Amino acid sequence: MKYLDEYRDGRVAAKILSEIERVTTRAWTLMEVCGGQTHSIVKHGVDRMLPSQIELVHGPGCPVCVTPLEQIDKAHAIARRPGVTFTSFGDMLRVPGSHTDLLRLKSEGADVRIVYAPLDAVRLAQQHPDREVVFFAIGFETTAPANALAVTQAAALGIKNFSMLVSHVLVPPAIAAVLQSPGNRVQGFLGPGHVCTVMGYREYEALAAHFQVPIVITGFEPVDLLDGVLRTVRLLEAGEVELQNQYSRIVTRTGNVAAQRLVWSAFEVCDRKWRGIGTIPKSGLRLRYELQEYDAERRFDVGAMETLEPAACISGQILRGLKKPHDCPAFGSACTPERPLGATMVSAEGACAAYFAYGRHRQEATR
Amino acid sequence: MCLAIPGKVIEVFQDRGLRMARVDFGGTVKKACLEQLPEAVLGDYVLVHVGFALSVVDPAEAERTYRFLEELGQLDEIHMPEGPA
């Protein structure tokens, strides 16, 4: 496929790799922010190709993984109600809450459905006026325009039996939180290419300048990722702090302004709890006041939830880049994609699921 | 979740007041909303995420980046030993 295959070309990858080897003189720790990048890195073995001095730490950019347990328990409470059709992206279905998951609720008779696009949930509400259709609106800035479109369409068409359970998160506050955490080892970032497609990268220029850390906005194919590593290492080796845009075929400095306008017409910034990390100020989105009637939390009056996180799961430390999946005693034994203890084992973008899928059950003896 | 892939716009149409497209991803055709991408036209490659087109792929930038990467280390190659095959 055009714009994909050429970025998987082994010949080009080998050239970039030898250039990385040539410029690297000491140890560097980089973080890829986005879970999609983590998945691609593990799938293609990008981390294993790199010189041993370069360590890639996996970031918190997996929306399914960081959706707080309270919101997942609320989703389950709403999905259980008679008359409710609960819709969600597919990878949310197996995520364990305190007591159950959406797939199990479906098997017990709840009307839980997977949608590909948020607009499909609005169409479903139109087709079934006798049902209360609820959409689980999760995601980062990449997904925010599509979710915003769903709720603004419902409002424009006067569809009253549609609502959203919102659990949106924002990347820049999470990068700041990583850099401010006491045990931080990250010296440079591969920035989230698709988030920046929507938002542009001005916020990341500010982060790079404020924290004096190089950030390279990077794509998702192996050649993109290696190019992102090369650019970041070059900056680190030269002692330069800069924002670079590796993904310039897709990302512009200002992003998609029309999509941003749509996002702000539906959402406003709020404090948000991240699963395994805790509350990060101004790190989330909630529905604007004018759209409150579409807020499923209000419509179904799901108040404060008492949550129960499995003690064995170390996903919080994995999401903060402090541990790797194979450091967890439950990884691959008590915790598998079929019977996950934590969300990082569920989503394809979760580090645990990626390590499991591509046979990373043990730390390599030599690197 | 942030998975988004480039596909070619093969049809543009209106549906319930929204500008929509049929997008071809290497043989698989899906609908995508073009509402926030007014500049996208027939034949363009657009990046689609959960049924929503986010950006038009810039062919000139793609070419520039790729050529730069291809040329990387070309001088080194002259000194590389020949492989067994």
Tens digit of each residue's pLDDT (9 = 90 or more) over A67-121: 999 999 999 999 999 999 999 999 899 899 999 999 999 999 999 999 999 999 9
pLDDT bin (cut points 50, 70, 90) of residue A2 is confident
Q: Is the pLDDT of residue A290 over 70?
A: yes
pLDDT band at B74 (very low <50, low <70, confident <90, very high): low
Ramachandran angles phi, psi of A145, nearest 5°: -60, -45
Confirm whether A136 is domain-assigned.
no
A215 touches A157 (CB < 8 A): no
Asked if the structure places residue A73 within a domain, the reply is no
Distances (CA, A) of B67 to A74, B48, B60: 50, 25, 11
Q: Is residue B39 part of a domain?
A: yes
Q: Is there a domain that residue A309 lies in?
A: no
**In-domain check, residue A154:** no
Q: Which residue has the higher pLDDT, A129 or A309?
A: A129
Partners of B56 in beta bridges: B46
Instruction: Report pLDDT for A309.
Output: 81
Of A138, A114, A143, A118, residue with least CA distance to A64: A138
Residue B78's pLDDT is: 44
Q: Among A190, A222, A246, which residue's Cα sits nearest to residue A12?
A: A222
Question: Given CB atoms, is B10 within the 8 Å cutoff of chain A?
Answer: no
Q: Chain B contacts of A265, Cβ < 8 Å?
A: none
- What is the pLDDT at residue B66? 75
Q: Shortest Cα distance from B71 to chain A (angstroms)? A: 9
Contact A258, B54 (CB under 8 A): no
Query: Which structural domain range is residue B38 located in?
Result: 5-76
Q: Does pLDDT of B81 surpass 60?
A: no
pLDDT at B16: 86
Q: Is the pLDDT of residue B49 over 90?
A: yes
Task: Identify which of A139, A172, A349 has the alpha carbon closest to the alpha carbon of residue A263.
Answer: A139
Q: B82 in a domain, yes or no?
A: no
**Chain A touched by B58 (CB under 8 Å):** yes
Average pLDDT over every residue of A309-334 = 88
Q: Quick check: B69 and A227 CB within 8 A?
A: yes
Question: Which CATH number does the domain housing residue A21 bear?
Answer: 3.40.50.11750
Contact call for B50 and A347, based on CB within 8 A: no
Q: Does a structural domain hold residue B81?
A: no
Q: What is the pLDDT of residue A108?
A: 97
Which DSSP symbol is given to A50?
S
Q: Mean pLDDT lowest for which of A45-49, A262-266, A274-278, B17-21? A: A274-278
- Is residue B69 less than 8 Å (CB to CB) from chain A? yes
Q: Of A93, A335, A149, which Cα lies nearest the Cα of B19?
A: A149
* Residue A137: inside a domain: no
Residue B80 has pLDDT above 70, yes or no: no
A1 touches B: beta carbon within 8 Å = yes
Return the amino acid letter for A363: Q
B41 in any annotated domain = yes
**A223 near B CB under 8 A:** yes
Q: What is the pLDDT of residue A348?
A: 81
CB nearest B65 (choices: A89, A194, A249) = A249
Q: Indicate the pLDDT class of residue B73, thresholds 50, 70 and 90.
A: low
pLDDT band per the 50, 70, 90 thresholds, residue A366 = very low
Give the C-alpha distances (Å, rounded to integers) separating A185 from A28, A57, A241. Answer: 9, 9, 17
Supply angle C-alpha A100, A101, A106, rounded to 5: 110
What is the count of structural domains for chain B? 1
- Tell me the pLDDT band of B84, cut-offs 50, 70 and 90: very low
- A139 lies within 8 A of chain B by CB: yes
When pLDDT is averaged across residues A148-174 and rounded to a whole number, the result is 97
**Position B85 in a domain:** no
The answer to whether residue A314 sits within a structural domain is no
When CB atoms are compared, the residue of B4, B59, B69 closest to A12 is B69
Domain for residue B68, yes or no? yes
The 10s digit of each residue's pLDDT in A19-70 is 999 999 999 999 999 999 999 999 999 999 999 999 999 998 899 999 999 9
Quote the DSSP letter at residue B15: E
Confidence grade of residue A364 (pLDDT, cut at 50, 70, 90): low
Structural domain includes residue A228: yes
Helix or strand or coil: residue A304?
coil
Q: Is the ipTM of this complex over 0.95?
A: no
Residue A76 and residue A89: Cα distance in Å, rounded? 14
The CATH number covering residue B69 comes to 2.30.30.140
Q: Is residue A39 a part of any domain in this protein?
A: yes
User: Among A119, A190, A265, which would you mutate to test the B interface (most chain B Cβ atoms within 10 Å of its Cβ)?
Assistant: A119
Identify the residue among A116, A142, A159 best suited for mutation to test binding to B, counting B beta carbons within 10 A and taking the highest: A142
Q: What are the pLDDT digits (tens) for A184-232?
A: 999 999 999 999 999 999 999 999 999 999 999 999 999 999 999 999 9
Using the beta-carbon criterion (under 8 Å), do A258 and B37 form an inter-chain contact? yes
**Separation CA A31–CA B37 (nearest Å):** 31
Domain count, chain A: 1
Cβ-Cβ pairs closer than 8 A, A with B, add up to 139
**Closest by Cβ to B69, choosing from A3, A120, A223:** A223
Confidence of residue B82 (pLDDT cuts 50, 70, 90): very low
What is the reported pLDDT for B71?
Answer: 78
Domain that holds residue A223: 5-64+177-245
Residue of B nearest to A145 (CA): B52
Residue of B nearest to A246 (CA): B65
